[in-house]
A and B are shown apart, each in its own frame.
Chain A
């Protein structure tokens, strides 16, 4: 056998071995068990604590607000869209206080003029529509079309 091959063959064998060793060490545990992904990630995601409680959980205590919501344009929206994630508050009402947004910009997230949703959501020009007042001074966010005098 030529001396070149006497050196190269073992070198390539070492390279292939290192590649396989690297692969063995780098491929995460449980990869490929159920498909081309790390199966443990399913359990890890399942173990994450919930942040959002959902409308029904809110309605258990705040049934009056839930009823108001159902009767107007915001029926179908989740409470936590405006008030933020409420799981901590649901578990312990005294511990987690939810936010009560009152700024014009918050309403503007959905209601500021936007060409793509002009026929879906009522639009206002924030710079033009009573610019010095808060939206909630006239509109009850739970009953948006019940406009205060």
Chain B
């Protein structure tokens, strides 16, 4: 009998309460946390870029191209955590070749393809075409050849043609805004439509994902703009920085309100799953939900950025505050994704117990691999900034 107890204790050390056997091990780990996180950064960065183009916030001009290139760098990597999670890269194309119309994930393949091919690549191409033609003439050797290929042979830079670049680029940005909403709203839909999981299944999920995407994307561009200016030893355009921070503040309010609304609704409804979800956020998710997501990632940036709307300290202090706030927001949104993905799998669907999740360091689902998928977009961005530097764009001649 004694040995039976020993086995029992060994098993109980990994679970609390009652869980079904297939719930002991989490199917979706850190890589699946990264998927909505990276996709969100893309949508957010693009929406910031569209503020300048469509909503005519001219003060954001210094960050327009940077935001677009950031969106592209992260979009190229957005599906990679999924591919490495599934472990069959040679079969990944099947999501596009034999999609099932009832599979939410299969349709994401086309949403992604639309966004990459029709929105982002085209918008960047129209924005840079004139410059690429000029750079192809100025540069020599290999780089000139790359520019020549990238112009796709459209070398006409007469004012009339350049005006078309602007017009079509504007049109694509207008189409791009609903597309960016679709891209990230869709990621929220993938979770929100899982009716078996009470932590995920809410119609608010696409909207919450969308607004948190905007928050994280804007914070990322804010951070990258400051980092790139520091590396290039260029003076930061404080007006642009203040404006980005202002939008970050506004959208953070909306995001916080929506999430609060969702939670208040959940608390007031108090469905049968409420007790376990309450235990979940006060127990296994306490640190990541209350401390990282809400306190550090939302309340502190809200208070600090809110104060800056009324009181403007000197430039250096503001820069430090923006830097810290953007990093805190990025951390907070990461843990928002964590709380959704990991949190949704920690409690038993019997509503009577919890399992545990421990990150492995190495291996295909491990920490190192996940960190690689976070670092690679920055390397791609560095390459894109080398190839298409926004600061070397040739100003258009006055008409």
- A interface residues (Cβ-Cβ under 8 A, vs B): 2-5, 7-8, 11, 15, 19, 22-23, 26-27, 31-32, 36, 113-115, 118, 125
A4 with B4: CB separation less than 8 A: no
- B interface residues (Cβ-Cβ under 8 A, vs A): 3-4, 7-8, 11, 93-94, 96-98, 100, 117, 122, 126, 129, 152-154, 156, 161, 164-165, 168
Known: A3-B156, A4-B168, A8-B152. A23 touches B97 (CB 8 A): yes
A28 to B23, CA, bound (A): 35
- Contact of B168 (CB < 8 Å), options: A5, A26, A115: A5
- Contact of A31 (CB < 8 Å), options: B4, B98, B122: B98
B93 with A26: CB separation less than 8 A: yes
Residues of A within 8 A of B153 (CB): 7
Q: Distance in Å from the Cβ of A136 to the closest Cβ of chain B?
A: 24
A22, A27, A114, A115 — most chain B CB neighbours (10 Å):
A115
Known: A23-B97, A26-B93, A31-B98. A115 touches B11 (CB 8 A): yes
A15 to B121, CA, bound (A): 14
B97 with A113: CB separation less than 8 A: no
- Contact of A36 (CB < 8 Å), options: B3, B100, B122, B168: B100
B7 with A27: CB separation less than 8 A: no
B161 with A3: CB separation less than 8 A: yes
Known: A26-B93, A36-B98. A113 touches B3 (CB 8 A): yes
Q: Distance in Å from the Cβ of A126 to the closest Cβ of chain B?
A: 11
Q: Distance in Å from the Cβ of B115 to the closest Cβ of chain A?
A: 15
- Contact of A118 (CB < 8 Å), options: B4, B96, B161, B168: B4
- Contact of B97 (CB < 8 Å), options: A5, A7, A27, A115: A27
In the complex, residue of chain B having the shortest beta-carbon distance to the beta carbon of A113: B3
Cβ contacts A to B, 28 pairs, < 8 Å: A2-B161, A2-B168, A4-B126, A4-B154, A4-B161, A4-B164, A4-B168, A5-B168, A7-B152, A7-B154, A11-B152, A19-B96, A22-B93, A22-B97, A23-B96, A23-B97, A26-B97, A27-B98, A31-B98, A36-B98, A36-B100, A113-B3, A113-B4, A114-B7, A115-B4, A115-B8, A115-B11, A118-B4
Residues of B within 8 A of A3 (CB): 154, 156, 161, 164
A7-B154, A36-B98 given; 20 more Cβ-contact pairs under 8 Å:
A2-B168, A3-B154, A3-B161, A4-B154, A4-B161, A4-B165, A8-B152, A11-B152, A15-B117, A22-B97, A23-B97, A27-B98, A31-B98, A32-B98, A36-B100, A113-B3, A113-B4, A113-B7, A118-B4, A125-B3
Q: Distance in Å from the Cβ of A118 to the closest Cβ of chain B?
A: 7
Q: Distance in Å from the Cβ of B337 to the closest Cβ of chain A?
A: 30
In the complex, residue of chain B having the shortest beta-carbon distance to the beta carbon of A114: B7
Number of residue pairs across A and B with beta carbons under 8 Å? Answer: 46
A107 to B154, CA, bound (A): 77
A118 to B5, CA, bound (A): 12
- Contact of A115 (CB < 8 Å), options: B7, B94, B117: B7
Residues of A within 8 A of B117 (CB): 15
Q: Distance in Å from the Cβ of A20 to the closest Cβ of chain B?
A: 10
- Contact of A4 (CB < 8 Å), options: B94, B97, B129: B129
Residues of A within 8 A of B4 (CB): 113, 115, 118
B94, B97, B161 — most chain A CB neighbours (10 Å):
B97
Residues of B within 8 A of A11 (CB): 152
Residues of B within 8 A of A118 (CB): 4
In the complex, residue of chain A having the shortest beta-carbon distance to the beta carbon of B156: A3
Q: Distance in Å from the Cβ of B36 to the closest Cβ of chain A?
A: 26
A95 to B164, CA, bound (A): 81
Residues of A within 8 A of B94 (CB): 26
B164 with A2: CB separation less than 8 A: yes
In the complex, residue of chain B having the shortest beta-carbon distance to the beta carbon of A19: B96
A19 to B161, CA, bound (A): 30
Residues of A within 8 A of B154 (CB): 3-4, 7
A131 to B98, CA, bound (A): 57
Which 7 A-B pairs rank lowest in CB-CB distance, beginning with the nearest? A2-B164, A115-B7, A26-B97, A23-B97, A7-B154, A7-B152, A3-B156
In the complex, residue of chain B having the shortest beta-carbon distance to the beta carbon of A23: B97
Residues of A within 8 A of B165 (CB): 4
A71 to B156, CA, bound (A): 93
In the complex, residue of chain A having the shortest beta-carbon distance to the beta carbon of B113: A19
A113 to B8, CA, bound (A): 12
